[in-house]
Chain A
Amino acid sequence: MSAVIERTTSRTVASPPISGPGRKHRPWLMYTLLVFLSLVWLLPLVYAVMQSFRDYQYTSVFGYFSLGGWTLDNYSEAWERGNFAQGFVNSLIITVPAVLLTLAFASMFAFVLSRFSFKLNLSLLALFTAANLLPPQALLVPVFRMYLEAPVPEWINPNGNLLNTHLGLVMVNVAFQTGFCTFVLSNYMKTLPREMYEAAEVDGASVWRQFYQLTLPLVKPALAALAVLQTTWIYNEFFWATVLLQDSTKFPITSSINNLRGQFFTDINLVAAGSVIIAIPTLVVFFVLRKQFVSGLTMGSTKG
């Protein structure tokens, strides 16, 4: 195991802070700039959080620069009006199976690609990687039609097809994300020492056992990173949910915020509260599992 870690880290050694003679540092300028930009970058989020706690009547009279009119009502109203409870449940129903299936498929595929040599090996990897980069809108027409035609038992969808079902959404997300995860995982698996498999073969371990008991435990860090990343992405996914779901009670949380917009008038403070509610899960992931998220992104450096 230690050999593996050594190998995977050796290529990305963190650079120690460079400081030495002969360098002109202007630290104050740099710090000022960094702090200034940080504050600019934080502003939209901080502002959203601030407004979400303010009463609309108050801000409409005293303006947004006033302080006062603090309230929690926006949150309860956004939660009710936006039907967020349902939205979160839907997001959960879509995201969890999609992430698990994506990771399962990707680790299976990546395992075979990295473990065996065969003619189409590289072409398959290229195909999977490319599949992830295509614009989903370009696939919309045929996917839509196929879903319309796909026979599905009535307990899944009374209409008897895949349109307007969470299952359909899960499937298309899995198809799209498997390519990216395969790419990342196969790269990771290729750093595992081959001697390990040689030894396993001598012991007579089947391919399944090699996969399940050798490879999977060793790629856990990569799986964890991808799980975090994929959870965020699929939770955030908007396009397929918009075009494949028609029934608003099936919308995931990302689409639910539309419920907060009135046709003629939008209460900005309400939208602020809704945005904060929807952002919370991803922000929690960001703060708690930041390391996994970041390494997931940079392992692939691909995601568009």
Chain B
Amino acid sequence: MSSVAPAPASAPSGPASPGGRGGRRKKKVGDLGKLDVRDKVVVGLFLAIPLVFVLVLVVFPAIASVVLSFARWDGIGGLDTIDFIGTKNYNDIISIYPPFWPAVQNNVVMLLFLFTIPTGLGIFLAVLLDKELRFTWFYQTSYFMPVVLSLALVGFIWQLIYSRDQGLLNAVLGTEIDWYGDPSVNFYSVLVATGWRHTGYIMLIYLAGLKGVDNALREAALMDGCTETQTFFKVVFPVMRPINIIVLVITVIESLRAFDIVWVINKGRNGLELIAALVTQNVSGEASRIGFASALSTIMLIISTVFVIIYLRVVMKDEPGGAR
């Protein structure tokens, strides 16, 4: 059974998909009203159990983070020791918290980097591999293998290359740079390692997207005398708009969430500041500053919400709203 399920926002497929979401709304098969009591209980439980999990462990904490961001609290005392102090945490973050701006800068640099080089390379590789060349399996395997590794492990594997005294890179270059330790270079080292993993991921998503592009489009463009490059940029790339947006959102979210790799290296200090690491430091550090950490969390939440909404608009655009 090798059928790949339809990517929710796959690029427009070739011939009008038979049996797609054609409006055949015959009977009220999907009507909840006509169920008997037992069925209603089953449906209710099917909805309620997962919903409780998501509400309690994701939605509520998200809201609580926003609320706590306006408070001072040590996180240990009772809820009555929460002291609301307005926007002071935010003011402090932007004015007197040294690691904040470096972290923002690193997050933005990571986003720009992931979005240009690994994404560009991933798309390029996908286009090449889409031609079903000889030994495709080999190429795909090598680009894709890093994707199954955890980012924490990626950090360790690259340590073998970056280590000052025992690393491959210094041995090759004849230098003595501490690639993970020196604040002037260590973030770039992290970017390379992260990009190593991100490229394969983007390649894979694009490859799936390309398979959904109607070949007739390409053939027509080539007939009209477009070169292959022109065909890609003028025909294929625009048609893949939904995939492009998904890739954009994934990249934004990945760079916002980036945490594992800097945490295993040095807990996100000394050149490797990232917002996600700052939140964690402020919660689990010696002096846990709950309000402060929550304000940082809220900043992350706001940024991600913007992109989550963009994402939802794309993937749910032609949702029929449950049962057809």
Q: Which A residues fall within an 8 A CB radius of B?
A: 3, 5-18, 20, 22-24, 27, 30-31, 33-35, 37-39, 41-42, 44-45, 47-48, 51, 59-60, 63-65, 105-106, 108-109, 111-118, 121-122, 124-131, 133-146, 171-172, 174-176, 178-179, 182-184, 187-188, 190-191, 193-194, 197-198, 201, 206-208, 211, 220-222, 225, 232, 235-239, 242-243, 254-255, 257-258, 266, 268, 271-272, 274-275, 278-279, 282-283, 285-286, 291, 293-295, 297-304
Contacts and interface: CB of A to CB of B under 8 A. Distances in A.
Given A45-B145, A63-B171, A137 B128 contact: no
Interface in B107-166: 121, 125, 128-133, 138-139, 142-146, 148-153, 156-161, 163, 166
Interface in B55-80: 56-62, 64-65, 68, 75
Contact of B153 (A112, A187, A190, A236): A236
Given A129-B312, A138-B301, A179-B54, A112 B47 contact: yes
B28 to A, nearest CB: 8
12 contacts: A12-B7, A17-B131, A24-B227, A33-B128, A45-B145, A115-B30, A131-B54, A206-B39, A237-B150, A243-B283, A258-B264, A299-B8
Contacts of B144: 286, 294
Contacts of A51: 160
Contacts, number: 408
A30 B131 CA distance: 11
A304 B153 contact: no
B58 A134 contact: yes
A7 B14 contact: no
Contacts of B88: none
A299 B308 contact: no
B297 A141 contact: yes
A16 B130 CA distance: 9
A211 B5 CA distance: 19
A44 B144 CA distance: 13
Contacts of B194: none
B163 A266 contact: yes
Contacts of B235: none
Contacts of A239: 259-260, 263, 280
Contact of A282 (B54, B139, B148): B148
Interface of B: 1-10, 13-14, 17-21, 24, 26-27, 29-32, 35, 38-39, 42-43, 45-47, 49-51, 53-54, 56-62, 64-65, 68, 75, 121, 125, 128-133, 138-139, 142-146, 148-153, 156-161, 163, 166-168, 171, 196, 199-201, 204-205, 207-213, 215, 218-219, 222-223, 225, 227-228, 243, 246, 249-250, 253-254, 256-257, 259-260, 263-264, 275-276, 279-280, 283-284, 290, 293-294, 297-298, 300-301, 304-305, 307-308, 311-312, 315-316, 319-324
B3 A257 contact: no
A10 B280 contact: no
Contact of A175 (B42, B57, B75, B166): B57
Contact of B53 (A16, A37, A171): A171
B85 to A, nearest CB: 16
Contacts of B138: 38
A138 B279 contact: yes
A266 B164 CA distance: 11
A5 B5 CA distance: 9
A139 B29 contact: no
B18 A7 contact: yes
A44 B298 contact: no
B263 A242 contact: yes
Nearest to A60: B166
A136 B279 CA distance: 10
Given A142-B61, A198-B29, A304-B250, A17 B132 contact: yes
Nearest to A16: B215
B152 A254 contact: yes
A212 to B, nearest CB: 10
